[in-house]
Amino acid sequence: MFKTLLKRLFYIIPTISFIISPPNLLANEEVIQEEKKEILYIKDIPNNQFTDYARIQILDKIMANSTEIDIKISEIYPFNNLSILIHKCWKSKPEDKPENKSLMTIKEYIKSNNEEKTIFNGWIFSSSPSISSIENVIYDITLIKCFNKDED
């Protein structure tokens, strides 16, 4: 009987100790430090895919005129009753599928009540402009490409 009790304790004690203290908590500090991973933030990753200029096309639907404009990033560009501000412009790597993305804010000045109204604030993709279109009665604005001055 004593032997049977010892055999049972022999099987029960390791199980209880495993439940009380799991193996990963018993590991030494070196193993725990190896498991820790450094957190990277997007702002800290060097990225030469952001550019200094964006080329957009503005279509006047009433007059059927199309105009291409190069706009420097972070500068407000006035166009008739619009003001266009491009915050960021990103282009894909040469080995990837061609894509340009631009974060922009477009405001419309309304003369009748001296009001400036934001008509668009968001990302525009050159490969699919219909995803985030600018809703305006007169103008259609499309991103053509992002570039640096020395490239063009």
For 36-45, how does the pLDDT look when each residue is reduced to its tens digit (9 = 90+)?
566 656 555 5
The first and second tokens of residue 37, run together, are 């991973």
pLDDT at 41: 60
Residue 18, pLDDT score: 47
Q: Positive or negative CA dihedral for 85, 87, 91, 92? A: negative
Residue range 65-118, pLDDT digits in tens = 999 999 999 999 999 989 999 999 998 887 888 889 999 999 999 888 888 999
Inter-residue contact 99 to 143 (CB < 8 Å)? no
Specify whether the CB–CB gap between 146 and 100 falls below 8 A.
Answer: yes
Q: Taking the CA atoms of the chain, what radius of gyration do you get in angstroms?
A: 30
pLDDT bucket at 58, cuts 50 / 70 / 90: very high
| Average pLDDT value for residue range 14-20 | 50
Confidence band, pLDDT 50/70/90 cuts, at residue 56: very high
- What is the C-alpha to C-alpha distance for residues 75 and 57, in angstroms, rounded to an integer? 17
- The string of DSSP codes covering 86-150 is EEEEEE--TTSPP-EEEEEEEEEEETTTTEEEEEEEEEEESS-TTTT----SSEEEEEEEEE-TT
Region 9-34 average pLDDT: 51
Q: What token pair was written down for 27?
A: 């590991």
